[in-house]
Structure 1
């Protein structure tokens, strides 16, 4: 009997065209799903007849409760080599192998700068005004050269963002609990003495931390209050690192100049969600990793993961 493989959340209908799935022909039936399943019941019903599931990043949680309702599932492939929404222990207990893929740090770093520049120069507001024959110039752009960029996290993505900031002539500072002065110097930036110093003295703050119990809620109301009223905050990392309600309040009350956000507590964002209409907010629908090269890597290596599993030698096993 031929195995069945579900490819979840293929919003752009490109999963089966950006990579070569032909090595699975005759052995695995590949079925992409363009829509998002909003509940565990919907997922359990849709995936009941599948042996393999390919899921993109952390779009779909796989808790123990869902895994227990998928007795046919044997292989779960997630893009990236880290996934906080898959219960790896429950998967092992259920006999499900979980594999990952490589992921490039370039696309999220590039999107960070798209948001930061869009905020600084009022690109969306000015572009919309031009199209609507509105005012010719209504904003005064914020300068980057000579301003301070504060990075929360200086890993693969943060390091890339830092180097671009330096190229713009910005003064770059970074902070995380484990950041050393040596690592900061390696990138060409200085380590801030504290999170509070970085927030209070930066003109632009960008979040590049992994989500963990230590970083969850790292920026709450008290931390956001440290930002200058002329400062901008960008988050392309994980929504839970920044308290969403506190950020909305800061934006509504004009306590910061603006924010660029690519990640949300609930995704896809519900139609009536306040993040869709918040003032001073430039928001994108979690596009950080969405690029043609990254997708080709994700799905190409997903095929490799399936082939290796079928050969009895799984690769890139998570957990």
Structure 2
């Protein structure tokens, strides 16, 4: 790091919350730190104001579109606190030469755990059972098994692979769809790659999404794929909300076309379609799959180190 002082805006509320090491890394490197003053995701206008004199930003899911980035003329680097960059205008960052890093692998195990938790909760109706028991309703509620069922994984990055490893403990048959196939991993874990999402949707008892949100994947799971799923099937999404057509999912759940769903993410958060909140065959999370003490600490340290390393070297490579 040079003698020059750089200012970093930190927006994620959990950054350094459990372990202050991420902040210590930035402070030791000489950064001036501006923290999120609102205790929530910042709006576009709040981001424009907060980023105006920032040299670097540690960002969660706050908007970093072209308009926000244009309001930050000094910005040289963005450290994504996570892996999804759909809230960042990556094309404009490339035009400006703004360095963007992600915390690959930092929260993979936590998200994989949560995906399995959503599968189990939806399959066994854990949430309505719990609610009924609190009303002293002690009747039996019938669910569906995970054991020896078929799991379809859409996307086989680190999180998808983590889910596959866990599913082996349930003796599940594991199908996978990904444009880039890891054949060595498939041989190791018994994963079977399929050639189409239609094949995966029709054959699977559980479908778990682990994809980035792009124009090509936006509302990928809509009425057509949902119609192919079994009436006892469960759809899980811990990736990005925009991967699912939420109106089509509501119809499928309401009409019993599929057994259930577990969603930690929505296209708009909280969800715009409030009717989803009334369904007892839907388990909902608040974009919290990565929120474990260990994952939060890992993401914070990785994000902070990426900025320290960049400003020490001053390179965009």
Tell me the TM-score normalized by structure 1. Answer: 0.85
1:233-272 paired onto structure 2 within 5 Å: 233-267=235-269, 269=270
Aligned counterparts of 2:162 and 2:203: Cα–Cα separation in 1: 21
User: Which deviates more, 173-182 or 124-133?
Assistant: 173-182
Deviation track 1:69-107 (CA, whole Å, cap 9, x = no partner) reads 122433322134662332234234445333333433211
Aligned counterparts of 2:156 and 2:281: Cα–Cα separation in 1: 26
Higher helix share: 2
Aligned counterparts of 1:99 and 1:107: Cα–Cα separation in 2: 20
Deviation track 1:262-312 (CA, whole Å, cap 9, x = no partner) reads 111113x15873333334110101122222222212211232233223324
Is this contact kept in 2: 1:150–1:199, CA < 8 A?
yes
* Distance verdict in 2 for CA 1:208–1:2, change over 3 Å: closer
RMSD of aligned residue pairs (Cα, Å): 2.7
2:306 alignment counterpart? 305
* Distance verdict in 2 for CA 1:129–1:207, change over 3 Å: same
Aligned-partner SS, 2:19: coil
Alignment gaps of 5+ in structure 1? none
1:186 to 188, 193, 197: 188
Aligned counterparts of 1:162 and 1:181: Cα–Cα separation in 2: 14
State the 1:178 CA deviation: 4.2
Is this contact kept in 1: 2:238–2:263, CA < 8 A?
yes
1:36 alignment counterpart? 41
- Residue 119 (structure 2) pairs with residue 119 (structure 1): no
Is this contact kept in 2: 1:181–1:190, CA < 8 A?
no
State the 1:181 CA deviation: 6.2
1:4 to 7, 26, 30: 7
State the 1:231 CA deviation: 1.1
* Distance verdict in 2 for CA 1:95–1:277, change over 3 Å: same
- Residue 204 (structure 2) pairs with residue 208 (structure 1): no
- Residue 51 (structure 2) pairs with residue 47 (structure 1): yes
1:198 alignment counterpart? 200
Aligned length: 310
1:160 alignment counterpart? 162
State the 1:111 CA deviation: 0.5
Aligned counterparts of 1:161 and 1:280: Cα–Cα separation in 2: 22
- Residue 87 (structure 2) pairs with residue 110 (structure 1): no
